[in-house]
Each structure stands twice: as C-alpha cells, then as structure tokens.
Amino acid sequence: MEVAVGSELGWQKRQSDAHVADCIAPSITLFGIADGFGELADGAPIAPAALANVRDDLRRRQRVGSFARSVSPSGLRAILLGALDYANARLYAQSGSDDDFVGSGTSLTAVMIVGHHALVGHVGDARAYLLRLGRLELLTADDAMFADAAVPSTKSNLPAKPRMRGLLWRSLGTQAKLEASIAHVELLAGDQLVLCTDGVHRAVAEDELGDALGDCPSATGVVARVLATARSRGGADNGTVIVARDLLVAPPATFVAGARARTVRVAVAIGLLAASLLSYGLFTFRSGFPDHPTKLTSSDR
C-alpha cells in the first residue's frame, strides 16, 4: 500500500483541517479527513479531536475482539458506525451545541479497510473518491445546501472558478444523535482511494483529479499536483488530500511499526503497573508483622 498526505493552509490564518492514516491492526487500516468550524470548550480545534475519537474507539474495539467476531460487511458497518457515534457524543458534550445553538462541529469522512472490504463513513462535505479502471467514482454525497454545481470540466486552458461553500445541514458534534452515512465497497486490485476536504474539491474538477491519479507515477506526485491546482485557483480555504494506492497490499512498514509500538507501550505500562502493585503488596505484608525477626550478619564469631 502506498499512501501520501498533503495540506494547504490557503489564505486562512488557522488550520481547520485534520487527517489520520493509521494501522489499527496489521489487517485493518483507517484513513480519515475532517474539516472543522469553531472550537471545543477548552479551546482545542475540533477536527483533530473528532478523528482521534474515531481512531481510539476502533482501537478499543480491536483490542476486545470486535473485528474477529464481525467479519461480514454488515458487522464491519456496525463497528464503524459505532465509532462515529462515539466520536459524535464526545464532541457534542464539549462543543457547546444544543437544540437551539450550534457551537462547533466538523465534516468527517473515514474509510476503514479490512481485508478487501472498505467501509466509508461520512458526514458533512469532506469527500471520498475511488478510481477503478480509469474511472473516478464519488463515494460520498455532500451534506450541504445552496452549494454551487460541480466544478466544470477544465480541459481548456481557462482556469476553473472555485465553487462557493454550501451550508452544512449535517456535521459531527452539532447534534445529540448522529445519522452518519456508511457505504461498503469491495476492493479490487489496482483501486486507488482519494479523500479530500472541500478546500480541494471546490477548486479541483473531478476530471483533473482523475488525470492526476492516472498520470502521476506516485501517490506523492498526485498530492503535489492536486494541491498545486487548488493553490492556483486562489486557495480560499484549507485543503487537505489523502491518496492511497495498492489497497489490497499490506500497509506500509511505518504503519505496522506504529501499531506494534503502541502495543509494546501498552504492554510495558501494564508490566510496570503490575510490578508496582506487587512491590506495594510485599511492603504492606512485611509492615503488618513488626515482630518478625530481622536477620543480621556480622563478621564476629
């Protein structure tokens, strides 16, 4: 699996986008992208928190064996939906939103790959695309009102005009109950996956994105070309893009190493805790018997 990620700040002074590309387990990979607005109650940006909550819940479910028990598409769908529900509840409690007021929220699109299954979870206007046999397919539908039509074809030399942003009618963290969209794709050899925030897809036409995927020999090249195109259109918003190729191949060594490092850290922490409890128990046991004779050694005979 080949993965590349890139982000452009645009004219904004703060980064509202976030991304995750992580190996939950050797056979489970998570890609996620988010575009937030507002802040959490403690002043932290909401997009990274949303992705962290989704990732952490999936890790917990992997540790307790949920993936081993749910290998069907419907079971995997329930797992991803549960992770999104968990993230939404955590964010809603911290976002300052209520029934009459929206404090903060985020668009989020996450793709969970388990073997040859890809589950696409979506809320908001971040997007996921799949390139298969030279044809680019949009896997998500924007949850936005009053958005401009899609960027027109830009096969001519005239630059495309970026679309205006629509008003989100669904986002993570703005409502107590989330109804996220979940799609299932059975992956084939040669498939390529793209995730991007609206700062990219509002400025880059789908045919331009498809051309970049087909022309560039590396995922890094695709990311660079797409971001350069978005930048040439004025960079009105933060733009982030993830490109993943060879989806049926084992994840990069850095992904697996990162997952194993986390496992080792957890094991070490548990070991240290057990050693501390054992030491404390021995100390308590001995302290409870003050008359216990102490063995003395001396060179005197």
8 A C-beta contact, residue 28 and residue 254: no
Q: How far apart are the first and last CA of the chain?
A: 75
CA Rg value for the chain: 24
Q: What is the pLDDT of residue 205?
A: 94
Distance (Å, whole) CA 34 – CA 51: 7
Instruction: Tell me the mean pLDDT in the region 174-187.
Output: 92
The yes-or-no verdict on residue 102 having pLDDT over 80 is no
Of residues 64 and 176, the one with the higher pLDDT is 64
22 C-beta neighbours (distance < 10 Å), count? 18
HSE, side-chain direction, 13 A CA sphere, residue 198: 27
In whole angstroms, what separates CA 263 from the centre of its chain? Answer: 19
The pLDDT, as a whole number, for residue 254 is: 58
> SS in 3 state form for 66-89?
HHHHCCCHHHHHHHHHHHHHHHHH
Report the distance separating Cα 42 and Cα 232, nearest Å.
36
Q: Is 73 within 8 Å of 119 (Cβ atoms)? A: yes
Spatial neighbors of 97 by CB under 8 A, at least 6 apart, are: 103, 104, 105, 173, 174, 175
Task: For residues 254-283, give the mean pLDDT.
Answer: 52
Task: Report pLDDT for 215.
Answer: 95
Query: What's the pLDDT tens digit per position in 32-65?
Result: 999 988 778 777 889 999 999 999 999 999 999 9
Quote the pLDDT of residue 289. 46
pLDDT interval class at 131 (50, 70, 90): very high
* DSSP symbols for 10-33: TT-SS--EEEEEEEEETTEEEEEE
pLDDT, mean over the chain = 81
Which pair of tokens denotes residue 137? 């397919």
- pLDDT grade for 125, boundaries at 50, 70 and 90: very high
Rounded to two decimals, the pTM is 0.78
